[in-house]
């Protein structure tokens, strides 16, 4: 009986490890997917010279479905004015973008440790510059 | 006592596996980010070539602009090497902005970059290798401290 009581006390703690492992793997896969989606959108922006509205909307939809969040929670700040390919390096002709995607759960069993849901979240940020390949008309 | 020891061991192993898993995820993500950095640097550096020489049917890459492009893109976030191969028949190697080697070559040229990847250069090409050093793993005994990734862009049409 004593061992059973100890098991009941210790079991939730051990289950948290399993849940945390699963959650970490899920978050890692989400982050890899986000990085890959953002990279693909940036490659498109290289061809277009900027992040077009269509490209931004498509990226938002992809990120929302991947991270299971609302589109309104995803922040994308990107150059929407075309930059051009010139035959000498010019810092001003780079396309800048910043993507922020919320990661809703960082820790499994947070309430067990007294951590509120609002505190148990993070933001995955990707900020970068790329060179435009769009030729000046 | 035996049960206590077994319990402590299970918790320790669980903690270690979770720590390793979190670190490995970060390592994997950094690897992908570095590959993307190498890609964007190589694709930016290959954009600049001598227009007059191009009119004569030759592709000569502009070293200064290529170096500035890579420097500007990476913004000292990591160490880098840049290899330029073009119709001049000179292979130039830059490391963090400075020329470190210049040798003759001719197409096809077999080249092994810093990551150990061997490729055959058949046309003008830019290879960028980026590396980042950090304590990725918190557990003792995992020695992986450097991530190195490379990317090559070639000029396929003239």
pLDDT digits (tens, 9 = 90+) for B97-152: 889 989 999 888 898 888 888 899 999 999 999 999 988 898 888 887 889 999 99
Share of chain B above pLDDT 90, in %: 51
CA angle at B87 for the pair B72 and B155, rounded to the nearest 5°: 60
Tell me the shortest Cα–Cα distance from A89 to chain B, in angstroms.
5
Sort B46 into a burial class: Cβ within 10 Å, 0-12 / 13-18 / 19+.
buried
Q: What is the band of B91 on the pLDDT scale with cuts at 50, 70, 90?
A: very high
For the cut 90, the answer to whether the pLDDT of residue A123 exceeds it is: yes
Q: Tell me what pLDDT residue A12 has.
A: 83
Is the pLDDT at A43 greater than 70? The verdict is: yes
pLDDT at A7 over 90: no
pLDDT at A61 over 80: yes
Beta carbons of A129 and B62 less than 8 Å apart? no
CA of A17, closest CA in chain B: separation in Å? 6
pLDDT for the residue numbered A56:
95
Q: Which band of pLDDT confidence, cut at 50, 70 and 90, is reported for residue B51? A: confident
DSSP classification of residue A100 = E
ipTM: 0.84
**B25, B51, B66 member nearest A28 (Cβ):** B25
């Amino acid at each position: 009986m004593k061992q059973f009581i100890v098991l009941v006390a210790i079991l939730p703690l051990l289950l948290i490890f399993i849940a945390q492992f699963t959650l970490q793997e899920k978050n890692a896969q989400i982050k890899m997917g986000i990085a890959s989606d953002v990279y693909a959108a940036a490659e498109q922006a290289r061809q277009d010279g900027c992040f077009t509205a269509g490209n931004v909307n498509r990226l938002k939809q992809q990120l929302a479905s991947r991270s299971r969040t609302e589109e309104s929670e995803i922040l994308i700040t990107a150059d929407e004015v075309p930059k051009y390919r010139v035959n000498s390096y010019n810092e001003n002709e780079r396309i800048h973008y910043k993507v922020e995607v919320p990661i809703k759960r960082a820790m499994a069993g947070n309430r067990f440790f007294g951590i509120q849901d609002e505190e148990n979240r993070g933001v995955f940020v990707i900020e970068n510059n790329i060179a435009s390949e769009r030729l000046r008309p | 006592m035996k049960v206590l020891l077994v319990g402590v061991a299970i918790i320790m192993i669980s903690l270690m596996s979770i720590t390793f898993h979190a670190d490995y995820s970060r390592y994997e993500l950094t690897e992908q980010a570095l590959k993307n950095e190498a890609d964007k640097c190589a694709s930016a550096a290959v954009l600049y070539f001598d227009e007059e020489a191009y009119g004569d049917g030759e592709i000569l890459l502009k070293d200064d602009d290529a170096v500035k492009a890579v420097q500007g893109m990476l913004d000292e976030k990591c160490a880098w090497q840049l290899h330029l191969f073009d119709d001049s028949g000179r292979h130039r190697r830059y490391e963090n902005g400075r020329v470190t080697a210049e040798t003759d070559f001719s197409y096809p040229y077999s080249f092994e970059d810093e990551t150990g990847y061997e490729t055959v250069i058949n046309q003008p090409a830019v290879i960028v290798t980026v590396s980042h050093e950090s304590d990725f793993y918190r557990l003792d005994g995992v020695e992986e401290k450097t991530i190195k990734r490379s990317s090559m862009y070639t000029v396929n049409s003239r």
